[in-house]
Chains A and B, each alone.
Chain A
Amino acid sequence: MVSFFDRPARVTQFKLVHAVWRRQRMEVLPGVAPVALLLARTDNTVVGLTDVRGYPNGFVFLLRVRWGLVADPYEEVPWPFPTWGSPDPLDGELFPDELLRFGVQFADGRRVTNMDQYPFVPEELPPDQPVLVEGGGVGSEGGRLGRGAFWDLELAVQPLPPPGPLAFVCAWPGRGIPEVRVEIDAGLVLDAAAAAVPFFAEARS
């Protein structure tokens, strides 16, 4: 008799990518790169990037998004990051101006952005195609004294970049930020990755 659940378990690229990251984060102490960037800055909005950590199979960083003071502390703050259910495909506009566009480009031209299929991972992922993995974050939509919203969002890129310029690119039409590009030497990330060590000597990684 065939069971209702007899189909073989499916290992998707999404599961695989996240499993690699979970295991790496659990088992490896990353190296840290001396990187602190202001990607974009206007009178009332800043996008910064710090806490770049190198792992054997990629790197992690913290995207620091800050709003300045707001006139109306009770104004509803649109969620600025594309996520599982946002933007809502039934709302018409697939990538509204309120969303922060962000991406990374390697020296050889390969790139990944938070548009495309993010935060999902394509099943037909070429072996060397970079993927962007969303980690945890903290934030606030503002305060009663008029402070604007802030978010610290952890993102990971897999795999490591090749030597050469490593570009971080962002644009945020809804906050008056045109497309900006800031490059660092990928060697900083590669050096950090080379300094990563297993927490326990016999750990897998």
Chain B
Amino acid sequence: MRPNDLDWPCHNVVPGMAPVAAILARTGETVVAVTGIRAFPTGFGFTLNLRARNLDPRERREFWPFPELGRHRGPPWSDEVLRLTIEFADGRSVTNLDPSPSDPEVPAFEQPMLSSGPGTGGGIDGWSFEMDYRVRPLPPPGPLAFSCVWLARGIPSSRVEVDGAAVLRAADAAVTLWSDDPYCSAD
């Protein structure tokens, strides 16, 4: 089995919860929010909540801001792309534009990795997305920052911080159900 076939987070873990619900960016037409956080022994997951309204006719037909999936190609990335960055208290960071692994100088397991899905979305008068993301490894104690840039929606840069220690405490509360699942990596 190749590493990419392994599940992460492993389905035989029930995560601990670090309750977070924060508006990351808001204009009169657009909201980006973060909810979760589901903490696992080796990383965490969160949901990116997007709302966009007052769309032009083209946006009503097609609206897809996620660079890691779908029609966008880069670099350079279109202004329509939502740029998302996760930054640990020790300065390590990862974005949804990074190829993986992002920094060849840092051992792969220590580099933050960001992956997306599953998610839901749709809309009539506006668009609504709930996209799940997963980050590993766990952050160190200290501020865990989520930031985004979404130029086409008038969001130059916006940032919100949560307590990395709370994520670690929640990870301690996660329960591994079966340790011998062949679909789950050992890390």
Contact = CB atoms under 8 A, between A and B. Distances in A.
Interface string B135-158: 000000000000000000000000
Contacts of A51: 17, 36, 38
A143 B1 CA distance: 12
A170 interface: no
A147 interface: yes
Contacts of B16: 36
B177 A66 contact: yes
A62 to B, nearest CB: 9
A145 B182 contact: yes
Interface in B155-184: 170, 173-175, 177-178, 180-183
A26 B31 CA distance: 11
A interface bracket (residues with beta carbon within 8 Å of B): 35 or more
Contacts of B17: 32-36, 50-52
Given A30-B21, A136-B120, A46 B33 contact: no
Contacts of A196: 21
A192 B19 contact: yes
A64 interface: yes
A195 B177 contact: no
A36 B39 CA distance: 10
Given A36-B173, A197-B23, A50 B35 contact: no
Given A138-B118, A199-B31, A150 B14 contact: no
A26 B177 contact: no
A197 B21 CA distance: 10
Nearest to A150: B11
B131 to A, nearest CB: 13
Contacts of B11: 66, 140, 147, 150
Contacts of A41: 177
A50 B15 contact: yes
B181 A46 contact: no
B35 A32 contact: yes
B17 to A, nearest CB: 5
B82 to A, nearest CB: 16
Given A147-B183, A200-B51, A33 B19 contact: yes
B18 interface: yes
Given A192-B19, A199-B51, A29 B28 contact: no
A31 interface: yes
Contacts of B183: 143, 145, 147
Given A32-B20, A32-B21, A200-B31, A26 B173 contact: no
A178 interface: no
Interface string A1-43: 0000000000000000000000001100111111110100100
B185 interface: no
Nearest to A149: B11
A76 to B, nearest CB: 20
B53 interface: yes
A205 to B, nearest CB: 13
A200 B28 contact: yes
Contacts of A195: 21
A43 B136 CA distance: 29
27 contacts: A29-B21, A30-B35, A31-B19, A32-B35, A32-B36, A33-B17, A34-B17, A34-B18, A34-B19, A36-B14, A36-B173, A50-B17, A50-B38, A51-B17, A52-B17, A53-B35, A68-B178, A69-B178, A138-B118, A143-B183, A145-B1, A145-B183, A147-B182, A192-B21, A195-B21, A200-B31, A200-B53
Given A30-B21, A147-B183, 6 more contacts: A29-B23, A32-B35, A32-B36, A36-B15, A36-B16, A46-B177
